[in-house]
Structures are given as C-alpha cells and as structure tokens.
Structure 1
Amino acid sequence: MDTSSTKEILKSRKNMKIKLLLEGTLIGFLVGFVIVLNRLAISNLTRYFNNFYDFGNQSIIKSIIVIITLTFIGYLVGIMVKREEMISGSGIPQIKGRVVNKLRLNWFKILIYKFLGGVIALAAGLSLGREGPSVQIGGAVGEGVADLTYKKVKVKKEYLITSGASAGLAAAFNSPLSGMIFALEEIHRNFSPLVLLPAMASAIAADFVSKRFLGMEPSLNFERLQVLPLKYYWLLIILGILTGVAGTIFSKGIYLFQDLYGKFKKIPIEVKIMFPFFVTALIGLLFPSLLGGGHDTILNLTVEDNSICILILLYLSKFLLLMIAFGSGVPGGIFLPMLLLGAILGNITGVFSFTFLGLNKEFIVNFIALGMAGYFAAVVKAPITGIVLIMEMTGSFNHILSLGLTVIVSYITADFFKNEAIYELLLERLLKRKGIKEEADNTKKTILEFPIEAGSIADGKYVKDIEWPKDCLLVSIKRGEKEIIPKGKVQLLSGDYLVVIVTLEKRIEIFEEINSITLVN
C-alpha cells in the first residue's frame, strides 16, 4: 500500500468520533424536518383522496372518473420510477447496498422522487408503509451531507448514510431507539462506535424534531398494556410458531409477486405501476376500510371485538393488496403492513385463546403487540429491533420477557423453514436484476472496523496466526479505550475492534473475508 495515502487515512481518524457526532446531529435535524413534511403531506393529501372516493360513490359515472384518475396518477408515479429506478419499493435494500458500496445512488434525485412518489402512493391508499421510504429518504439526506462536507474522507460517508437511515425510522415512528437499533442491526450490521455515535445522535435529533411538530406520543401507542401473567406464557410459543410460519410465507409471497411482475418484460414499469392504483381505486370505492398501510387498522384492533373469521378475511385481504402493490415497484415499504399482519395474527391467537383456552380478555391486546414483534423477527430477522420497537410502543420494560419468548420462537421457526432476512434477499435480487457491478478504484483507500465476536475464528488467536486477506493492512486493535499496535504476538480477544485499511477496489471482498474471520457464521 502507498505509505502517504495510508498516513492520510490514519490522520483523518483524529477526532473522527466528535466530527461524526456533530454531523450525525445535523443530519438528524434535517431528516426530522423532511420526514415531518412527509408525514404531514401524506396526512393532508389522504383526506382529499378519501373525499374523492366518497365522490365516486355518488354515481357510476363518478366511479369511472375516480378509477381513471387513480390509474393516471399511477402512471405519473411510474414515470418517476422510470426516471429514478432506485426509488422503487421500500428503499431499505437500496440503502443497504449503498452502505456496503454495492450500489451507486443519486441522493438528490432519490430524495425528490421518493418523497413525491411515496406521498402520492401512500395518500392514495395503497397497502404500503412510509417507514421504508423514510429510511431511504434519511439515507439520501445523510449521503448529501457527506458529499457536501467530507468528500475527501470516504469512510465517513457510509457512517453518515447509516445515521440518516436511523433518523428516518426514528422520525417515522417517533421511536429513536428503534431507529438507532434498526440502522445498526439491519442496515450496517455493525455496532462499532463509529457507527453507533452518529446513528444515536441523528435518531435523537430527528425524534426531537418529530415530537416538536407532531406530538410526544409514539406512532403506535400501546401504553395501556397489562403485564401478561406467567401462566399464559405457553400460549406465546403457539404465537411464535404461527408468526414464524406466516412470516416465511410472507417473504415467499413478496418474491413470488416480484417474479410475476418481472415476467412481463415488455410492459413498461409505468404501466405496471398503474395496476395497483387501479386496484386501489376499486378498493376505495367498495371497501374503503382496507385502504392504507395499516396504522389506523392496528389501533382499531386494540379497541374492537372482531371474530376470528373477520380477522382471517382481513389478513388475507391486506396480504394480497400488499403483494399487488409492492411487487409492481411502487415507492412504498412493507414495514408497517408487515406489523399489521403480525398484529392481526396476534389478535387471532388472542381471540382463539380467550374463546377456547381460558385467556383473560384484557390480555388479547398483548397478543396484538407481541404478534407484531414475532412477525417482524421472522421476516426481517432483526430480533433486537422487534423487541425494542414494541417496548417503545408500550413505554415499558415490563413486557421484555414475553417479547423475548415470542421473538425467539418466531425467529427459530423461520430459521427452521430456511427463511432468509427479507431486505438482504431483496438486495441480492435487485443487484442480480439490474446487473450492477462495483466500479473499480485502484488508487483510493478507506478504513474499516471489524468487531471480534466470541467463538469466531479470530477469537483467542494471535495476529500472526490469522491468514489475512491481501490488499489490506491491520493498523490497530481497539480494546476498550486502548489502542494496541497489532504485532504478531498480540492475542485477539472477543470484544476487540480491528482497524483495517483497504483499497476501495477490494473493499467488498475484504469486508466479507474479514467478517468470516471475526463473526460467528
């Protein structure tokens, strides 16, 4: 490696944490304002669409006008997707791909088109969520700030994109811990302090802005939940198995509908996106209660007494509408609809347990909340985020035992059926579909940090005994607050962080190779 370039990289690490903390805070405030505007735009425009559906119910002619108008709006959204294809879907796979440098994104175009396309699709009532788009919008803001402030230091950009994604989810849910944990556990998959500090600062700043303008309550509020008695815990095993199986089917359904739309290669993307808008127009005229991503429906489940048959019909309807919308490539996410499906399954389990297994009726709402966590863990394979999200919704740590049991059983069940993390697989499918390859760069270098997990290949071994990848340089071992010079006789311990300089050309291969050494597979 070039010595001068290496020295420049090492010099840039000085005061890096403080700089990242300040930039993360800035990004958090910016993302907070953007997401507040996004939420307000969706809320206000939704009222106009609902009035438009009421207008359509006045006569057949007006119904036809509504259908034609919604279909044309779908065409306009499709034009946006055609101009910037990376805004399709939830946006989380795209951000994951950008963080690991497998994708190149135009952050400004994504910010504009994702904002507009997402607002229109969600306000029109498509069965999609705003949380995934909020993550992508946040990531775009993070990359924009990185481009404008630290163009020379490539390592910071990925950290700031992650912090923007953290802020996006925090502002969307009014849940800063969930935003931070999701960004670390799912987006970056690394709990390095260099990732943690800006992600934490941005999530807190975004949450502050969101609560300042939209109120202090979480987006989904379950504060009145009673602590579930231990005698009912055996029912949580049933709920965990159910959500694990259903989550696996959910993932397969997403891939199936993407493949179905993909078979019509000669049909332009804008025409494909017209179809879910056409379907939504019919739903808005005939069954308006099925409109939307599911926020109000989840809250209604907590106060309404629904029969198992009604809940099953609701589940199947929302499942199908989500598949139709998401498979087409409409800008919109699966995060909230996924939570809705989990809530419905939880409600079904609760009602069944109340009717036949002696569950106290007041605990049915617990099963609704726990169903969301279990479903999320099965589909996303991010169990910590699922637990933290529900804890923030309930405003209490008293439910961590029931949450943990449900999430663990669901996660293991999904693993048994070989269900992979959905955003990981969606990214793989995106890369394969687009044929995107990384651009080579033989001159520039970057610095990466790798945590050593207990039980990994590196744990307990000496530096000289590790077969390190070529084109990388181990420059430091961080152990707590100390930095150790990586001499051959230094023993690596779990909890250490390896500081490695790599060439940009080889960073993906080296990232995967070193992870295979430092992480438990």
Structure 2
Amino acid sequence: MQQEPDFVQNLRQEFGDGWRWVERCIVLAYAAAAGLCVVGFTMVAEQAFDWFMHIYRWQGGWAVLLWTPCLTAAIVWATRLWAPGAAGSGIPQVMAAQETALNDQQRSRFVSLWLSASKITLAGLGFLAGLSIGREGPSVQVAAGVMHHAKRWFGPRSGITSHALLVAGGAAGIAAAFNAPLAGIVFAIEELSRKLESRASGLIIAAIVLAGLMGVSAFGNLNYFGRIQVPSLSWHALLPGICVALSCGVLGGLFAKLMAASLTGAPERLNRIRAKYPIRFAAAGGLLIAIIGLATNGATFGAGSEEVKHMLAGEAELPALYVTLKFIATWLSAWVGVPGGIFAPSLSIGAGVGHNVSLVMGSDIAPALIAMGMAAFLAAVTQAPLTAFIIVMEMVDGHSLVLSLMAAAMLASLVSRMIARPLYETLANYMLSQVPPAVPPKAEDAVQKAAASS
C-alpha cells in the first residue's frame, strides 16, 4: 500500500536544496535568452527579405539574376568555411546531438553558441538572397544551441541532462517561431525526443513559456496568419478534403524522398559535381531560383507566408504552376547547402494545393481547404502529424477545424510513409555517420608527441 505524500517533509526537502534552485534559475535565464535569440532572428529574417524585395522591384527585377546566385554562392562558401554544422534546416542537427555516444567535441558539430550565431547570420543572408527557405527549423537549432550552453554550469550529479536541454531548446524554438506553445510541446514529444521523461517535462514547459513570452512581448499575442472565417462544413466538403489530403500526402512524400536523396549523396552524378564544385553549384542553383521567381512574379521568393495570407483572404493571384515551382525552388534552396528551413515553404506549398482544389471543387470552403492543405503537406514532409495540425490550428486560430486538420494530417502522413522514410531522422542518421570517431586521450597524446618530434 502506497504511503500518502508528506506535504511538510516534501516542502522542506524542496527548499532545503539551494543548488537545485540555482540550477532552475540558470535554466530559466537560458530559456529567456533562447526566446530573445529567436525574436532577434525573426526580425533579421523579415528585414532581410524586405531588403530583397526592394532589390527585386528595382529595374523590373532583372537584378536578381545576378544578386541571388552571387549571394547564394557567398553564403555556401562562408558556411563551408566557418560553420558547416549550420547548413540545412537545423532540426536534424538537434536530433543528432541527442546521441548519447557523442562526446562534447563531437556534439559541438551540431549545436553550440557559435552555430546559433552563424545560423542567424547566414540564414538571414539567405532571406536577403530571396531563397525559398523558412526560419522555423533554424530557430530550433538556434534555441537548442543557447539552451545546451547551460550544461557547463551543471555537475555530473545534476538531474538536468544534455538531452533535456536540447529537447527544451528545440521545443522553445518552435514555440517562439510560430507563436504556438502547444505545438512546441507536441514537437518535443513527437519529433525531437520520441519520449518525455517526467523530470524533464517541467523544464520543457518552463522553457516554452519563457521563450513564448519573449515572442509575445516583441510581436504581440497574435495568430501567425490571423483568424480565418470558415463556414460550417458538411458532407459535401468530404471529397475536396480527401483530395487535398491525398494530393499533399503524395507530394509531401515525394518531396521528403527527394530531399533525403539529394542531401545524403544521391543522385550520385549530380552530388559528385556538388561535392567537387560546391560554390559553382550554389551559384547555378541560385540562378535557377531567381529565374523561377521572375517567372512567378516573385511569388516563390522567400518563405511564402505572404502568399498564404493572400490565399486565406481570397486575394491570391498565383500562377497556375505555383505549387510545382515553389516545390522546385524549396528543394534547390536546400540542396545547394545554405542554412534554412522547410517548414514555412511547406506550409506555402500545402496552401497552394488547397487553393487549387478549392478552385476546382469547392470555392465556398476555400479557407478550410487551404488550412487542411497546410497541415497535410507539412505532416507528409515531416511525418509528424500531431505537430503539423497543431501548428496550423494555432497559426490560423482554427479551433473549429480541429477534426478536419487532424484527419488531413494523419491521412497525408500515412500516405507519405508509404513513399519515403522520415526525413529528419534520415538526415540525422546520415550526419552521425559523417562524424569522425572520438580519439582516446592516450592516443591523442601520442599523436601530439609524434607531431612535436617530427
């Protein structure tokens, strides 16, 4: 028979350990710093893309044919030289950093204060180049790098582990980037950790709350895409909804498969060229992205958030091939090796699918189909359906669409799993396979002595 908890004894034990409270204060301070870093990154990204749009509008936009490839090549050069761990989304790096077999030096290849600062700078330059990237995935790596830095203050007997700090930081990054605290919690469970220790749950929630408060303080407690007006859905919405979910499931699965193949060495011929001439490859990719952007009157440049807002408001004037061209521009932006995420572009592609289906099958429920497309495509790409539908629900204040968003995300994720392996897990495993083995201390001393004697 279990004994009832003794309130007085537990209270005395709780407040009797002063160092435990010091550790908690350190974690909370780092969580606030992580939130502020994400806020700063958001401001940098938005300002950089505003500057790019000024360049795009200058002289009919032809300047981007030189600007985008040159800046893309410069970003890839700087990334490879100074911060190779900052390339790509950032979520696979945080997942890889949780590998318990890594030592501190190996883990610093994936998360550190230097990589966080580099990610903000280089991804900001990516927005300045007009690349089809998002800031949400990078926000995960930025916040996780800041949070993990707190580990140096804790001893080996501390209950706060590197794993808990990384999960808390990554979740806080999602919460602050999307202004979606529930999505941060679910993302921590579904994508980053796959399980949640009871001791770490309070740490994660505290980090999410503080990081979220930093975002709310800077930008206000507003929904990312505002509040959509959705008419009451009836059975006539079933067929368009299924079409959106299945289309996004197939497209998202193909996108995940293409991304995984491109970033892990296949197709071999093109990746051999990419490995041999990375700067030229980046310039060529940047040129293609600029051409696609010009062909779509600028619709494929950047994350695509403005296009989503126009679609939800019924004011979109998108080219007929928007979904296909945004798909290609996002893939190229990731493949050339610049730091940048795919969350926001995925939402834009999914919204485009929903918009296209609404034009053909049901324009009166267009906002609902667009929201379902966003959740479905993001779920198909990440194979994290709970995170996807909660992100969209919080971004559009779509509580009336909970069941529709959930069903679309689950169906699209199921279809995607038949086509591709989980994208972030695949990339994280590939990154771990590229980590050089740790050198034992004695062997390292022998190498240094041999080098000194020669």
- TM-score, structure 2 normalization: 0.83
Q: Deviation digits for residues 171-230 of structure 1, max 9, x if unmatched?
A: 111111112211221011112223322221111111111111112212233443344234
Give the distance between the partners of 2:213 and 2:138, measured in 1 at CA.
20
Give the AA of the match of 1:133. P
Matches within 5 A, 1:16-165: 22-57=25-60, 63=62, 67-82=65-80, 83-101=82-100, 104-106=107-109, 107-150=112-155, 153=158, 156-165=161-170
The alignment status of 1:319 with 2:327, answered yes or no, reads yes
Aligned to 1:376: 378
Q: Counterpart of 1:49 in 2: which secondary structure?
A: helix
What are the residue-to-residue correspondences of 1:267-282 with 2, within 5 Å?
267-282=276-291
Q: Aligned equivalents of 1:247 and 1:228: distance in 2?
A: 25
- Identify, as 1 or 2, the structure richer in helix: 2
**How has the CA–CA distance of structure 1 residues 264 and 150 changed in structure 2, closer, same or farther, with 3 Å as cutoff?**
farther
Q: How big is the shift at 1:439?
A: 7.0
CA gap 1:126/1:189 in 2 versus in 1, 3 angstroms = same
Structure 1 residue 426 corresponds to structure 2 residue 427:
yes
CA distance in 1 between partners of 2:293 and 2:59 (Å): 9
> 125-134 vs 247-256, which deviates more?
247-256
Alignment of 1:339-378 (within 5 A): 339-354=347-362, 361-378=363-380
For the residue of structure 1 that corresponds to 2:108, the secondary structure is: coil
SS of the counterpart of 2:399? coil
Mean Cα deviation higher: 222-231 or 292-301: 222-231
Report what 2:6 is aligned to. none
Structure 1's 48 and 150: CA in aligned 2 closer, same or farther, altered over 3 A?
Answer: farther
- In the TM superposition, residue 98 of structure 1 has moved relative to its aligned partner by 0.4
**Cα distance 1:184–1:411, how it changes in 2: closer, same or farther (>3 A)?**
same
Aligned to 1:446: none
Q: Residues 46 and 123 of structure 1 are in contact (CA less than 8 Å); yes or no, is this contact kept in structure 2?
A: yes
Q: Return 245-254 or 24-33, whichever deviates more.
A: 24-33
Displacement of 1:109:
2.0
Q: Which runs of 5+ in 1 are unaligned?
A: 1-13, 355-360, 442-521
Distance 1:119 1:399, change over 3 A: same
Where 1:363 maps in the other structure, the secondary structure is helix
> Which of 322, 337, 340 does residue 329 from structure 1 map onto?
337
For residues 105 and 245 of structure 1, do their structure 2 counterparts lie closer, same or farther at Cα, with a shift above 3 Å needed? same
How many corresponding residue pairs? 414
Name the structure 2 match of 1:504: none
CA contact (8 A) 1:28 1:206 kept: yes
Q: Structure 2 vs 1, CA of residues 146 and 402 (structure 1 numbering), >3 Å: closer, same or farther? A: same
The partner residue of 1:387 within 386, 389, 398 is: 389
Report the Cα offset of residue 154 of structure 1.
8.3
Superposed displacement of residue 285, structure 1: 5.3
Q: Work out whether residues 168 and 208 of structure 2, in 8 Å CA contact, stay in contact via their aligned partners in 1.
A: yes
**Aligned-residue offset at 1:272:** 3.2
Question: Match for 2:251: what amino acid?
Answer: A
Aligned-pair distance for 1:33? 0.9
Q: Deviations over 1:266-325 (max 9, x none)?
A: 534344333333334445556323211111111111123668xx5650001101111111
Q: CA separation in 1, counterparts of 2:23 and 2:237?
A: 46
Higher relative contact order (CA 8 A, sep 6+): 2
Does the C-alpha gap of structure 1 residues 227 and 31 become closer, same or farther in structure 2, counting only changes over 3 Å?
farther
Query: Where in structure 2 are there 5+ consecutive unaligned residues?
Result: 1-16, 442-454
Give me the TM-score of the superposition, normalised by structure 1. Answer: 0.73
Percentage of pairs with the same residue: 23
Q: In the alignment, is the contact (CA less than 8 A) between 1:43 and 1:123 conserved in 2?
A: no
The answer for the alignment partner of 1:199 in structure 2 is 204
